[in-house]
Amino acid sequence: MKEKSISNFRKKAKRTDKIAKGIISLGGFGVILSISAILLFLFYESFPLSFSASITEYLGWNASTKKVLLAGIDRYNEIEYLLDENGKVEFYRIKDQKIFQTDSIILAENEKIISADKGSLNDEIFAVGTNTGRIITAQIKMTPFYSRDERVIKASFAVKAIYSTTDSSTLPEPIYKIQYSKNEEASEYWAWLNNRNELRLRIYDADEEKFYNYNITDQLGNSKTSNFTISTQGDHLIAGTEGGELFWFDLSDIEDVQLKSNWRSSKNTITSLAFLIGDNSLVVGDAKGFLQLWFPVRSSNNEFRFKKIHDFRKHKNEITDIIVSPRNRTFLSIDSAGELHLNYSTTSNTEIEFKPFEYAIKTAAFSPKSDALILLDSKNRVGQFIVDNEHPEVSFETLFGKAWYEGYETPEFVWQSTGGSDEFEPKFSLIPLIFGTLKGTLYAMLFSIPLAILAAIYVSQFAPKKFARIIKPTIEIMAALPSVVIGFLAGLYFSPLFEKHLVTIFIAFIALPLFFLLSVFCWRLIPEAKRRRLPSGADMLFVIPFLIFSFLVAVLLANTVELFFFSGNISQWLYDTLNIHYDQRNSFVVGFALGFAVIPIIFTISEDALSNVPYSLTSASLALGASPWQTVKKIILPAAAGGIFSAVMLGLGRAIGETMIVLMATGNTPIMNLSPFNGFRAMSANIAVEIPEAPVDGTLYRVLFLTAFLLFVFTFLINGVAALIGDRLRKKYARF
């Protein structure tokens, strides 16, 4: 009986042991896994930035209409329309490729549409030109309706305006090429090329409800116009010639359209021209397949001139069309062999190169969300493609290199994630942020390394033991001081104080070393033998009055010095004479404030390293007649160097990652200069500021995750190095 109960007990104990082992192993392992999951998740969220774009065919069918001139899709990619030369508009439902509605532009007998152009990136409004010289403007609307949970897209078609370019008395002038734009103020611009090779322009001013007509052929010189385009807001007209020249007309003054400038962009005939969203960047394609991007840059005489910014990958054949994305600065270039390139302007990357059909492409259009593409070849094959191009604006070069953005005079490192309008191009250069982080770290380390290490040497070697026993925990507690408190003081107490007493600080910087030197020489007045017999700590008490004097001198002299040397106002003086702009929240304040966070770390760990140097070493050195300082210098410092190094590394890690102090004590402007009187924006503060506003899975969101990933890796490595060195050190001295 007894034996049985014992064996039962044993069984039970063994069972519990097994269960415990299972739970602990699982839990422990789970914890370790979940920690590594952080790194994986950060990587997972930022990784899609490096995905290249893809275009996949979703559907393809043969259109019943012949000679299609225009096509378009609705914003949900559910229906699309095709416009043919007879003015017939057919609406297809994409999922079954059936026509569900037809409309038409009423044309005269024998009248055919021979050219067409969309007038807006956001609306399906377009103008067509006929062989009898008529220009017809029409609009298609594709609006969603909701009944229950189902979405039905309904289409409507309306002709808006009809204009005859010639009287009925004269011969009709077929419109070979037309360009049309309707801007946000509802003003409209038509430009067309007729059979006599005249470039004509017609403008409707919505404010005055007036029309203006121009013939700008004369201003183009002798060269024959091969292509032209109007910007979507109607401010510029650019015409390209067979000789490869470009002519820039300024349409902002509609009463007086003038040639602004002309220049040669290519050796070959200009075959394609288009403005990207934002109306700044002009894409130029020529007969040999060269593709360039130009935008106006302010020149030395303060005038804007178009400048070539990028060359894109060359097509093998003539570029026939450029299709612009309504969402971002992506565009599609199409050549005569039916090959397509998907390009992004700022990165000058050609994301994809593909040939969807065997034959040349006649018509192409982006969907309003730029996530689908509709293509039509010369054999009337229609293809709908899904465009997967989530983060075209980010590439390794734009993140870590200089990029030339519209409106800038040179390529620059810029961080500017949000702007006022839809046309704003986000600028994601991480360099200003990394620079900011390093700048803050640099000032913090410059300030705290000497102080912390000196203090650690004193406390570990020279201070009275009782004193050291109080000092160490006090400073350790300082390390736990919430950074938000330090940041708040830095932003609201120290920065105004420093601004007010800048001169005092300057003088203190000079007076402090001088008075310290004075104290050094006064200390020598005490005979050496007497000095050795002084109780430890006397040296510190001796120095204190000198420091107090130096501060007093700084405070007392400040006003006079400011008046005589800086004409009464130092920040004004700095600006006038040295062109230094003094920000109230600046790097000097950050360096000082970060010192509060970093000094305790460096101090504690260095002090540990210094006091852990085996006593036998110290005693040996002293016994051989070395002075205390000589012992410190020759024995203790070399022995503890690794520990001190790892202390500095840990401090560095803290300074790099510190968020609240940097957030509160700098102006958070992403500028790049080393001046201690200016602020910066650090990676950590940038995350804190921008992540709440960043749309999930958008480019900004992912770039911020990338920043976090980089921070993680930086600090992890720095801490790793520190720990390894600390480990080696411990082993080295374990044998003493």
Residues in region 9-68 near another protein by CB under 8 A: 13-14, 16-17, 20-21, 23-25, 27-32, 34-36, 38, 41-42, 45
In the region spanning residues 431 to 450, those forming contacts with another protein, defined by CB under 8 A, are 450
Binding segment for another protein among 372-380, 385-393, 410-418, 470-478 (CB under 8 A)? 470-478
Which CB atom, from 186 or from 713, has the smaller least distance to another protein?
713
- The count of residues in the chain is 736
In the region spanning residues 529 to 548, those forming contacts with another protein, defined by CB under 8 A, are 531, 539-540, 542-544, 547
The site string for another protein over 636-675 (x = CB under 8 A, - otherwise) reads: --------------x--xx-xxxxx--xx-----------
Tokens 């702009």 locate to 581
Tokens 């609307």 locate to 141
Q: Which of 156, 213, 627, 673: binder of another protein (CB under 8 A)? A: 627
Residues touching another protein: how many (CB under 8 A)?
A: 115
Binding segment for another protein among 124-132, 134-142, 326-334, 486-494 (CB under 8 A)? 486-494
DSSP string, 261-320: EEEE--SS-EEEEEEPTTS--EEEEETT--EEEEEEEE-TTS-EEEEEEEEPPPPSS-EE
Q: Which of 463, 644, 672, 700: binder of another protein (CB under 8 A)? A: 463
HEC readout, 151-176: EEEEEEEEEEEEEECCCCCCCCCCEE
Distances (CA, A) of 82 to 70, 89, 211, 363: 6, 6, 30, 10
622 scored as a contact of another protein (CB under 8 A): no
Phi/psi region, residue 571 (left: phi>0; alpha: psi -120 to 50; beta: rest), is alpha
- Dihedral angle, C-alpha 430, 431, 437, 440, nearest 10 °: -150
User: Among 218, 225, 264, which residue's Cα sits nearest to residue 245?
Assistant: 264
- Give Dmax over CA atoms of the chain in angstroms: 127
In the region spanning residues 571 to 600, those forming contacts with another protein, defined by CB under 8 A, are 595-596, 599
Q: 3-state DSSP: the chain helix, strand, coil percent, rounded to 5? A: 40, 30, 30
- Sign for the CA dihedral angle at 240, 241, 243, 249 comes to negative
Which CB atom, from 151 or from 196, has the smaller least distance to another protein?
151
Q: How far is the CB of 37 from another protein (least distance, A)?
A: 8
- Whole-angstrom distance, CA of residue 461 vs CA of residue 336: 82
The site string for another protein over 504-523 (x = CB under 8 A, - otherwise) reads: ------------x--xx--x
Tokens of 39: 């790194």
156 scored as a contact of another protein (CB under 8 A): no
492 scored as a contact of another protein (CB under 8 A): yes
Which CB atom, from 445 or from 718, has the smaller least distance to another protein?
718
In the region spanning residues 175 to 234, those forming contacts with another protein, defined by CB under 8 A, are none
Tokens of 3: 């034996």
Q: Which of 264, 724, 728, 732: binder of another protein (CB under 8 A)? A: 724
In the region spanning residues 135 to 154, those forming contacts with another protein, defined by CB under 8 A, are 147-148
The site string for another protein over 356-385 (x = CB under 8 A, - otherwise) reads: ------------------------------
527 scored as a contact of another protein (CB under 8 A): yes
Which CB atom, from 211 or from 565, has the smaller least distance to another protein?
565
Which CB atom, from 365 or from 459, has the smaller least distance to another protein?
459
- Whole-angstrom distance, CA of residue 509 vs CA of residue 519: 16
Q: Which of 457, 502, 639, 647: binder of another protein (CB under 8 A)? A: 457
